Structure 1
């Protein structure tokens, strides 16, 4: 059986090899046919691609030139204050701290203690410069009276520090838990003696016989007058070292005092006060056209706020340990048109200042759409239907933020012009 099958097996092997060879030759033919290209195919494949036309739309809008810089949100003013004297104290020692950096403080609040006495914040435009004593008159007295009214105390329209002002101060100190300051023990003793004399003189007047009443009444009236005058210039007072007048609230503590038990050093208190603004530094010797009063925009996160430039001033930076002058720069302050929420304080802001504006809409195109010819004329190429093009000679009036304001015959908003045309 094995001998009869041997020739048949050999014939089958030969047929299989022939089939395999045919398959290989067919595949090789396909590969070769894909690699062989006609001259027409080669020309088509090596031909330059059709030109792609890049266009921009002619716009009608106000053309602006802007300067953008980074800034930080803060309050407009910084106020430094340090007690220079303390009622009935020989040394200025920090004995209490009642706030810390970053805290918001309000009028009527005690922020700290110096030599056992309070340091009180009151509303006022200028700093205290003297002890305000009974009978005193002046702008500081008027400021104190307004501050007490602002806290809700009743104060008459007094031209001096009189009875109602002293009464309001006594209520304030009592509410804060501190002894009421006055003009001193000597004055207190003098008032007590004058009060006793007036009391006795009035008693004698009441008991005097008819013949002696006129004289007794004169003595009693004089005693009453002396007491009234003495009380008017003594008693409750506002010590210089116990009040800090702050021009605006809310105010934020930037720095407060030193360690309890240490002598007071300046500044004892540093407050950030006033309207919330943003400021940034513009490096360079040229402010790049920025001036006060120019419109601006604040961008804080995803929110934007219109405003204007309220100040710009040259600054000089120092270069680290070397102490050499750094590059010149300008500090630009932008104030929002409407009060900004204090939650934005310390946030980074993007300041965009409009340094130039066309005021009214003009036709504008990207700078790359305008070309200059050999004859010094400027022109744009207007794209027409299909591959149509029309060259229009234009006059360039102004520039800003990568655009040019142009005028040309027949040119109108909505036209498409080639960008980067030679």
Structure 2
């Protein structure tokens, strides 16, 4: 019995195991149709997003380099110096500001003064010279308040006096005339002094000649006339012809003497001498004035540097006190810190001067800067250079911005408020080129359908487009198709490529 029971247990166990194996095998066996159904792609459905209300802003985004405007290398004209051009003082520091009339540097004890002007200082100037460089100098002097006389292209003594005032203001003695020019002036002054002495002598001689007889001499001459008249009368009464003739002769002599005394002296010779002396003095004065003009304050080429605009900032200094100048002594630029970016033709058409740009500092802080200049491409460059000038920067902002490469965003156009907006991917083109969107709606039976809705497209920016339905309705929250396959109600779907 015990043996039969054991056999029964074994048979039951084997049957249970076979049943389990069969069930497991049954779960692993699939038909070809079922396998194909499991591996088929899912039914395509439309990908939708809701219509939004948002403010759209189009903008130009680029990167720009921050720098100071208009760098200029300063190289004084030292050809006229007779000594080695040693720097003796007034060496500026990087960051110093240079204004019109400031001393840029001191070379062999003389200043190099900065003045505004486009022409370089290509020659030394002195009274009597003419040219556009003289006119440029006089305009600069006049702007600084030093009167050069009539502002023209001629260097006059008034120009020289204004130059002297410029150097006095800078704390230096005015430039001196050349020794030979000064010698000519000294000679002309001596000649004029001699002419003045000659005139004085001639005037004294004329005055002496004009003095004439005294009143007593005139009275005595009148008495002689009276006495001769009485003698003549007596001789006629006596009837003595010889005495009458003699008395008549005496009367004529007395009358002639009186007449001469009353007429005054003849000073024609003395007057002629004086006229000649005065002419020589006039010639001497003219020669002295000409020599004085020539000897007026000159302007050595080595003591002035003209810069197109001032004030400016010292960017780099290449000399030191005690060193010898060889070419460029420093680099100066405009005091305005600007950001310059390059944009393509499409962006250029959107930009105008005075537009406000947003500049992101390296720290992330945002500052504004108006567009101050747009230059066309030049040379090998194909881009348009846009210059922006930040205003009212703090010292920290200047330090952070100087030399940095920064992100620049220039807002171009805005919807000025919230509008209906859809992603650009939601726009399709109709057979006539009209813009459309596919709006997912529910039919009366509660089924999802797609409505093709023609729209007018407004501003596009940052991947969105402003839309307004031509007919029908489109509201915030409506679902528009941006991908997938949609049923437009005719039983056929429209793929992304077909749209």
**Contact 2:91 2:321 (C-alpha < 8 Å) held by counterparts:** no
Give 1:252-331 correspondences, 5 Å limit.
252-273=313-334, 276-281=337-342, 288-290=346-348, 294=352, 296-300=355-359, 301-307=365-371, 309-313=373-377, 330=383
How many positions carry a matched residue from both structures? Answer: 353
Shift of 1:136: 1.7
Shift of 1:370: 1.6
**Contact 1:297 1:307 (C-alpha < 8 Å) held by counterparts:** yes
What RMSD, in angstroms, separates the aligned Cα atoms of the two structures? Answer: 3.9
2:185 counterpart SS class: helix
2:163 to 155, 169, 173: 169
Cα 1:60–1:380 change in 2 (3 A) is: farther
Shift of 1:224: 0.3
Q: Who is 1:149 aligned against?
A: 142
Tell me the distance in 2 between the aligned counterparts of 1:247 and 1:402.
Answer: 47
Q: Does 1:55 align with 2:108?
A: no
Shift of 1:218: 0.8
Cα 1:311–1:158 change in 2 (3 A) is: closer
Cα 1:176–1:314 change in 2 (3 A) is: closer
Q: Does 1:404 align with 2:398?
A: no
Give 1:112-131 correspondences, 5 Å limit.
112-131=105-124
1:189 to 183, 186, 198: 183
Q: Who is 1:77 aligned against?
A: 70
Q: Deviations over 1:69-100 (max 9, x none)?
A: 22233333122220122664333333324311
Task: Give the TM-score taking structure 1 as reference length.
Answer: 0.70
**Contact 1:70 1:351 (C-alpha < 8 Å) held by counterparts:** yes
Q: Who is 1:32 aligned against?
A: none
Q: Deviations over 1:390-413 (max 9, x none)?
A: 541235577443233545314789
Q: Does 1:379 align with 2:436?
A: yes
Q: Who is 2:32 aligned against?
A: none
Q: Who is 2:278 aligned against?
A: 217
Q: Who is 1:140 aligned against?
A: 133
2:89 counterpart SS class: strand
Cα 1:415–1:258 change in 2 (3 A) is: same
Shift of 1:369: 5.7
1:67 counterpart SS class: strand
Tell me the distance in 2 between the aligned counterparts of 1:270 and 1:77.
Answer: 10
Which structure has the larger Rg? 2
Q: Who is 2:223 aligned against?
A: none
Cα 1:75–1:228 change in 2 (3 A) is: same
**Contact 1:372 1:379 (C-alpha < 8 Å) held by counterparts:** yes
Give 1:3-42 correspondences, 5 Å limit.
none
1:334 to 387, 393, 398: 387
Tell me the distance in 1 between the aligned counterparts of 2:147 and 2:429.
Answer: 81
Shift of 1:268: 1.5
Tell me the distance in 2 between the aligned counterparts of 1:364 and 1:246.
Answer: 56
Tell me the distance in 2 between the aligned counterparts of 1:372 and 1:398.
Answer: 16
**Contact 1:395 1:408 (C-alpha < 8 Å) held by counterparts:** yes
Q: Deviations over 1:347-387 (max 9, x none)?
A: 15543346x769999976343462438978753255889x9
Shift of 1:217: 0.6
1:77 counterpart SS class: coil
Q: Deviations over 1:175-229 (max 9, x none)?
A: 3332321331111111111111112211211221332111101110000001111
Q: Of Structure 1 and Structure 2, which has the larger fraction of its residues in helix?
A: 2
